[in-house]
Chain A
Amino acid sequence: MTDHPKLTRRQLLATAGGVIATGVVSDLVSRREARAAVKPITVGFIYVGPRNDYGWNQAHAVAAKKIARLEGVKIVEQENVPETVEVEKVMEGMIHQDGAKVVFATSFGYWPHILKVARKYPDVLFPHIGALWKEGDPKNTIGYRGYMEEPHYLCGVAAGHMTKTGKIGFLGSKPLFFIFNNCNGFILGARSVNPKITCQVVITGDWNNPVREAEVTNSLIDQGVDVIVANVDSAKVVVENSERRGIYTCGYHTDLSELAPRGFLTGAEWNWAAGGQFVKAWQTGGPYTNLLRGGFRQDMVAISPFGKAVPEDVRAKIFRIRQGFVDDSFKLYRGPLKDNEGNVVLKEGQVIANDDNKFKLAVNFLVEGAIGKTGLKK
């Protein structure tokens, strides 16, 4: 146990995700210095869980700290706010009691509540991480989110090379489109290495349920799975239990490599720096986009540093594919593609653009090789 584990992780996080962010911010700062002084603004952050959960909420809290350092910005934070009508009260509380003018409600299920509140307060900006914005939604709302399926594809490639049993596992929280996209990315990446690989898919039903996650991890491993990735709010439990049982893991949200020195491969991380852009735009009255999605190309996602188990040639291959995403020469969803119930999703020659939001929003299937169900009606 290091003396200051927090420092190490924060540093890693800052490096991985923040380099670009500071770049963006300092760019904007210098441009702004040319204009008049910026008026002070209060920005609210709402978290669905604890800020230090080593996962989803922590990724946002780290972004919040960066935003707090922007000029004229004061932040207020509230955590453990459930995805119910409660969040409307919290948002309104921040607006009425704290004078917030930008509110980041950082959980997927807050969206319908955001729409309701945004209509009442047109002078407040509501960026949301679900990327559900569509034409007709209030102009003071924003949807932004990285294409996590891209780093998941790369994790899948790593898994495909490292698995000895040919069985990998995906633990998801809720049956939602982005979870399925991530899962498909993971499986497609693994099967690009070995088309016989199967992936056991289990949806726990909660953003955060450590007991169930631990149980599922152990059951999957008992079934012969030897690489697991967990799409839950905090993958800490899954990674730690996997490491104890001696299998490989991939991380999610934040850099979890410290938790699994032997078995960590790589992970899928966010780059939430775009949030700072929105605050700036609102402060200065500048323009902003209502729907911002991007993958490696737009630098909205990243992969974790590789664990020591990953050999050099695999790392090089992964970087090559990553470059393919960056210059858009590589497409994730390509035909021929079948789902795991035998239906044809894409015919030979059909290709889906990496930024085809319509397609991705509608993904309600798991690709061939997945053992499990989405639980959704088709």
Chain B
Amino acid sequence: MMELGWWGVLVAVAGGAVRVSTPYLFVSLGETLTEKSGRVNLGLEGTLVLGAMSAYGVAHLSGSPWLGVLVAGVAGAAFGLVHGAVCSLARVNDIAMGIALFLLGTGLAFYLGKPFIEPVAPRLPHLAFGAWSDSPPVRAALDVSPLFVAGAVLAPALRWALGNTKWGLVVRTVGDNSDAAKALGWPVSLVRTLATMAGGFLAGVGGSFLSLHYPGTWNEALSSGQGLMAIALVIFARWDPVACFYASLLFGGATALGPALQSVGVTTNYYLYGAAPYVLTLGLLVYSSSTKHTLVGAPSELTISR
């Protein structure tokens, strides 16, 4: 085995980018869709954790990891339904509602998930994209989950759908100008609720990745705020699904940087590296925001851009 050293750090970061990015990817795609329709769902962190728990539990009980993924998505959609339905009531603040569901989702996940901490659940299969390499680290880095591939395909598909289908037009109009949408006879609340449900579904699936692929366990410390970060990621990516994909890779790599450096003996400033994604997002937000106009690409009806 060759001494990898610093090259190893690069491989680890690349591997981490692929490994760790998938939950970010799914949550950000889901949130992009939700926000395009004019609603913010900060509760996706709770949905993520709930999805992780239900996927693990169902996979353990049924023996099928894919069933777990499906159930996770359904659970996420159900949460999205609650969010959408309550926020459709007059003047309920969707940001606050998101925080409430974040609390509730996390609480439910921990509460219902207690019996699943110990057992082992079948994992999702993985695709060995790195089989061509002789080097185990490279192989490991390119060892991807089908969910990652699904997400990578979904991103451009979503962008295309939003821009080129009637359904995409409906969503965008509802998000940019609800009066115009109403004038056209489109049911604004329903569209937003459906978009939120779809967003929740994707977030739930993203959660299933955590428990059924990587790190591949159910534990109350499983999520370190990836759901919330993904919300910031959407803004960072200017509501463009494909940009979400690249941004997810970036955030995933940044998260893997700290541990990768630690394993070559660089232990100082460990926590500061950990803060890198947050600082990055904040910096980009500051750079790209302006008081004179809404963030470029932001749906105008969005509460956070007003």
Query: Are chains A and B touching directly in their complex (CB below 8 angstroms)?
Result: yes
Residues of A within 8 A of B (CB): 1, 5-6, 49-50, 52-54, 58, 80, 165, 167, 200, 202-203, 205-206, 208-216, 218-224, 234, 236-237, 240-241, 244-245, 258-259, 371-373, 375
Which among B9-17, B28-36, B67-75, B198-206 touches the partner chain? B9-17
Given the complex of chains A and B, what is the CA–CA distance between A215 and B16 in angstroms?
Answer: 7
Q: What are the residues of chain B within 8 A of A259 when measuring CB–CB? A: 120
Given the complex of chains A and B, what is the CA–CA distance between A206 and B137 in angstroms?
Answer: 26
B56 to chain A, nearest CB (A): 12
**Number of A-B pairs, beta carbon distance below 8 Å:** 124
Given the complex of chains A and B, what is the CA–CA distance between A208 and B255 in angstroms?
Answer: 17
Structural contact, A209 and B259, CB atoms closer than 8 A: no
Further 15 A-B residue pairs, CB within 8 A, beyond A202-B262, A219-B8: A1-B122, A50-B220, A200-B265, A202-B263, A205-B270, A211-B223, A214-B216, A216-B259, A218-B16, A219-B262, A221-B137, A222-B263, A223-B4, A223-B263, A241-B215
A19 to chain B, nearest CB (A): 23
User: Taking the complex as formed, is B115 at the interface, i.e. its CB lies under 8 A from any CB of chain A?
Assistant: yes
Residues of B within 8 A of A (CB): 1-5, 8-9, 11-12, 15-16, 19-20, 63, 114-115, 117-120, 122-123, 136-137, 140-141, 214-217, 219-224, 255-256, 258-260, 262-265, 267, 270
Given contacts A215-B256, A216-B262, A221-B136, contact A240 B216 (CB under 8 A): yes
Q: What are the residues of chain A within 8 A of B215 when measuring CB–CB? A: 210-211, 213-214, 237, 241
Q: What are the residues of chain A within 8 A of B221 when measuring CB–CB? A: 206, 208-211
Structural contact, B114 and A1, CB atoms closer than 8 A: no
Structural contact, A219 and B259, CB atoms closer than 8 A: yes
Structural contact, B265 and A245, CB atoms closer than 8 A: no
Residue from the list B140, B223, B270 in contact with A222, Cβ < 8 A: B140
Residue from the list A205, A223, A372 in contact with B8, Cβ < 8 A: A223
Residue from the list B16, B118, B259 in contact with A52, Cβ < 8 A: B118
19 A-B pairs (CB sep. < 8 Å): A49-B220, A50-B114, A53-B117, A54-B117, A58-B118, A200-B263, A209-B224, A210-B215, A210-B221, A211-B222, A215-B16, A218-B15, A221-B137, A221-B140, A222-B4, A222-B136, A223-B8, A224-B1, A241-B215
Given the complex of chains A and B, what is the CA–CA distance between A259 and B260 in angstroms?
Answer: 25
Structural contact, B259 and A50, CB atoms closer than 8 A: no
Structural contact, A375 and B214, CB atoms closer than 8 A: no
Given contacts A210-B217, A237-B217, contact A218 B118 (CB under 8 A): no
Given contacts A218-B140, A219-B12, contact A234 B263 (CB under 8 A): no
Q: What are the residues of chain A within 8 A of B265 when measuring CB–CB? A: 200, 371-373
Q: What are the residues of chain B within 8 A of A202 when measuring CB–CB? A: 259, 262-263
Q: What are the residues of chain A within 8 A of B220 when measuring CB–CB? A: 49-50, 80
Structural contact, B267 and A373, CB atoms closer than 8 A: yes
A55 to chain B, nearest CB (A): 9
A40 to chain B, nearest CB (A): 29
Structural contact, B119 and A5, CB atoms closer than 8 A: yes
Q: Which 5 A-B pairs have the closest CB atoms?
A: A214-B215, A222-B137, A219-B263, A215-B259, A52-B118
